[in-house]
Structure 1
């Protein structure tokens, strides 16, 4: 699905979750240019009218609910056989993931999350909607702590008529209410019971009732009280424990009747005001069931002793009656028990038949997750080399796609190990173009390329990963380090005028001394430099050549270089100083600025520097000198930024 576009509008970006009924994807709406979440019905259910109806019911149930604590529904659609719901994207975790991450949640933060969920339920209940599947998996917690209720997939409108499950147990077994377990009357308080179980799990890190089968857990919801251990008692305030116990009362009448009542008591606790609980729920919150059973057993023994020993004849007369009554009672109890159990769990024992999906080219992990969620096991038959199928993806399956399959059945698959291993060739010292050809010949490809300065020619391979002669599978990308030639380093030209040739040689470290010619100037000391071919304070490439003219007294020495004479005369003209103001981009922290003076046939760098705009600001002043009219080019990060003309007159 990733990369697909639904109805030419929703671009699927990544999978962010899945359940037994649907996948959830992060996507982008191309029309409104916003990120959304899209729930897509699994393909194996698209031909099942019951599943499609439940899926659409989710959108219908919550589309009309607008509240900060309810996930908004934006759209619902069908693209070919793909059924989908578009909803608000919540950047964060679901509550189950948060509990797993934290272990337990601090009591007052757990209370705050409970209040937010209660606010969402209040809005739903006011609109005649009972959620019927409140559990941590359906509560999303954003990064700023906002709780949002999602997944109204089995919600149902509440009317004056009694709501029954019509023979089915609806909801998630660890969180549903006793009346849901019995398939009986469901009302607002049923959602609040489930919320009480969620609050208990936040506080303790585990659900109150666990068992080997769904039936076992359901019976515990009906028969057993929610109990806090002595260890948890010390950590959780008494008022919060009593709140949990009121939420999870077996009798619907004894629970909170509305979400507003619950919100009121939570706000009392948050403000250090003790709610007025009508019963001593603390007793039920701390009593152990085995203690209660022991009290009942002791009372039965006491009653038996007070009855006394009856005569043998009376025993004989009454034994027959007692045996008859006992037999009738046991038969009646057994009949009722079997009827009740069959009524409650009949849907759980129906073995549903599915159509085998096409598993080829899907990952083994994804396949296991999909099929095991509906009770079908996956067994790897063989692992084979196959360069046409990606590693850890399925090549073939038994049974084939489209075949009927039932819960408990085993699916056998062959899994790809990728292409057969090949030896990595030695690419070091090869040119990049040649390396590409060598990789292609060996059924390998170019990986990540990193460029570094080097004394080797540009485009030469300096290093490779994996190393030469390593065994890898076909199609593996080989990362390369490539030379980008010798690093160009700019250095500042020193002022050599007036220095001796010996001193000049010391100052010209990093430069190359070019031609040395001699000229006589009686106004200057003999042996000093009169002229340098590159003027001082300019930035040029390291190793640049500088020609020098040295003063030497001689009666026969005359100017032979007319052009040099003109340059010297020009140097004596009046030179004016100005500044160029450059406004740098504000979105870059470090920028490289270079300014060139453009001559008729030549150009020279007069300024080159890296500027930290956060420290220095984004205005740079560059001093310039000259006469007449001059042109300057300004480069920012090696790109021409601006061309300006300066008049020095």
Structure 2
């Protein structure tokens, strides 16, 4: 595994290993925060359909914001590595907690249950069914906050994973019957799985075990939980009632929403007794021969209570047997006629008998899916209303008539209210605003954050560079707005060359990626004149591009020869010249040419930004004398001038 993903996420430690992915603790180097990164196993990297679902579902779940849901921060790919970045929860998953402590205290289990239900309620309102609720996907923080993880990933695994990865099929312990059958899955499927999680919390074990995954799946379909045998006696009746209603085989018999479950949990917390219709104490596995014995003994008893004399029935039966001998010929004739009638009736029964079906819960399903399924059994579909609803995806069903669990038959018409998505809203302009301020702006417009990418920019770090969709366009309520956010200016590092011993002209060429700062002049008779004696930045180190480097240049000092000409009058004058305003700090040397060579009469380092670019140099000479002067700027010849002393 790489130590750094996309030059942003520094991998710190491996903290999880599942059938589908590895989980690592990492640090986001841009935002300087600890995150968890789920990395897809390599064997799935070539499955294009799986990868597409993996990314799409992860992006969809990134819009879920709730204290009991693990936040999704980012989805990315680095070469062949596909990953999802999520909130890091410091704690352990519920499965490990149960392994460590065994059966949990029922009041603590009920609190965990309520937090999970609140997370599912938020997800279901946004049209997302988890499909893989199990203790492994529920994280418990150090302060006992439950957070549900792996939203969306469960959807991506249903088509490919069950027959490929051995660990994932372990989820069969928590499958709903419809999942085990490969049937239609809805939000009640999550609630069934949550019921199995509650069972494990209060008993310390799963309700159904078997030698093979198929064996366990069949038990979910055919067997009921034995409440009398397996549930501890000290568990309150109402908690058993919750468990009973959650684990019903028929979807219509369960809680129809997480909100209903939360209400009942709050009633239990407030010591308000619940009124469950079913008697869960009778809901346990019984052998068929026992039921048959009960029926044999209970039916005669019931008849006696209703006043029916069994002896009279025997006498009546004997009389009928005697009459049979007298009417046998008539029976044979009638039999032929009866067989003919039965044959005709059997072949025409399809014209007279209409099969009844149980209405499925199509809420949040697509209209196309519902239409195909209903028309396949001869049921018509009618769109009653099209409504704006940001909580239900466009062309998905909001409500239905008749309701789920009702009886429907061929030729009947089912009516749906269908979502048009969220109402149109105008996208605000958030370019050049900070990422922290965007949340409130989007909330006012009923929009949410989408995918966030980061790029280097001249704008301050954390400032939005661009957005998609663009500002002032119309989109549906609840649409995610994607952003590109500034990481600040890119810092380019350059290697400092060693220019000691080189001339200033050579140094300027070598230091093209750095700026030359101050230049000082010192005398060192042991070194060649004009070479660089020292530099402020050490050669070989890496510094930011454009950083200033100060240099010290070797310059021999010349002895000044003073010519005494007492007979001539000394005249004082000055020469003036202008320097380039684009320079910052320069060294100016003025040399006076004489019979014995040149001598420096002016040698100063000038800060042009402070002193200005006009330079005046005082000169003197004898009356009637003409002198020549040469001007050098940073050791380069700049100008030549003459002066007459009159």
Is the TM-score greater than 0.5?
no
**How does the TM-score come out when normalised to structure 2?**
0.44
Which structure's CA Rg is the greater one? 2
